[in-house]
Structure 1
Amino acid sequence: MSKTRKLDFRPSDFVVYPAHGVGQIVSIEEQEIAGMSLELFVISFEKDKMTLRVPTNKATEVGMRSLSSPDVVNEAMRTLKGKAKVKRAMWSRRAQEYEQKINSGDLIAIAEVVRDLHRTDDQREQSYSERQLYEAALDRLTREFAAVSGSDETEAQKKISDVLVGRVAAA
């Protein structure tokens, strides 16, 4: 990857960091580490009360990206409307796959996890680990949806919930 990519991100930009979801670049700072000067993106994850420093020359390498385009968000919403695809593999294997999708930072993959793990009131109870993965994926999807559409998370959550409930009603 070329180093010029780092110029794509500026302070106040919202970005997606695969392992943590949507954050906002607060500043770009210089720090001396092990005798070398390093330029870092300072990213705030408000909801998690966390700040992350990412070397500007490593940002694209670690998968940091701009928010998805509205087209990608629409595609993610279409994915939610689809039929759940649950493999017959052991739960530990599926859980690992779901976790990889969530941490990939790929909005469509995250939407697939939400779709596949969504339960209605009349379906069997979710296990604790299923619920954790579902909530993590839903949270990532909601935050990015809200950031892209300029709405708040409550509004985004309602839209996503409406799609999921609508899908079940249509089934």
Structure 2
Amino acid sequence: MAVVTKKKTQVDYAVGDHIVYPAHGVGKIVAVESQTISGIALELFVITFDKDKMTLRVPFAKAKTVGMRKLSDPDTMKAALTVLKGRARVKRTMWSRRAQEYEAKINSGDPVSIAEVVRDLHRNAGQPEQSYSERQIYEAALDRLAREVAAVEQIDETAAVERLEQVLRAA
């Protein structure tokens, strides 16, 4: 198992880069490994997700197809925060259908789509309580968005959550 450090790969990621993996959120590339699996030599990114205490190995060839990407630029994050300021748009469909749509948006990895979920499920004081499943989806979306905001703005996750909640309260 060879580990290469600070070498740019053909897909423009290097050891030490923060990336977004759609199904898991923000992670950090900690190594690049060569492994032989079933007789096939593969180059792999080793990505850690500290909050989830998880390590993921992604073949170079699959990085783009699984949706792995660099952190959003500040303009994209600004667009996501603008979405939070908008009015909630809750469709009049059954909850199970909306829940599937929300999960798909969260797992897309797109910060603007995740911001839509946070906006739509946010409850201000004085509004009716959320169901357990609504709360779970809201917290998952808020957590995913906060992790990327924290990584982009180089602040801790607690400060990022507070910033997002402040934007939501001001809306």
Range into which the TM-score falls when normalised by the shorter chain = over 0.9
Mapped partners of 1:33, 1:149: distance in 2: 38
1:7 positional shift: 2.9
Residue aligning to 2:157: 153
Mapped partners of 1:5, 1:61: distance in 2: 16
1:141 aligns with 2:127: no
Mapped partners of 1:26, 1:5: distance in 2: 14
Q: Give the AA of the match of 2:25.
A: G
Mapped partners of 1:87, 1:42: distance in 2: 40
Mapped partners of 2:42, 2:28: distance in 1: 20
Mapped partners of 2:159, 2:135: distance in 1: 22
Matches within 5 A, 1:1-171: 6-167=10-171
Mapped partners of 2:15, 2:67: distance in 1: 18
Structure 1, gaps ≥5 residues long: none
Number of residue-to-residue matches in the alignment: 164
Q: Give the AA of the match of 2:28.
A: Q
Q: Give the AA of the match of 2:100.
A: Q
- SS at structure 1 position matched to 2:29: strand
Structure 2 length-normalised TM? 0.93
Aligned residues of 1:84 and 1:116 also touching (Cα < 8 A): yes
Aligned residues of 1:6 and 1:57 also touching (Cα < 8 A): no
TM-superposition CA deviations, 1:33-62 (whole Å, max 9, x none): 001111100000000000000001100000
Mapped partners of 1:96, 1:41: distance in 2: 30
- Alignment root-mean-square deviation, CA: 1.2
* Structure with more helix by fraction: 1
- SS at structure 2 position matched to 1:7: coil
1:5 positional shift: 7.8
TM-superposition CA deviations, 1:109-140 (whole Å, max 9, x none): 00000000001121111111101100000001
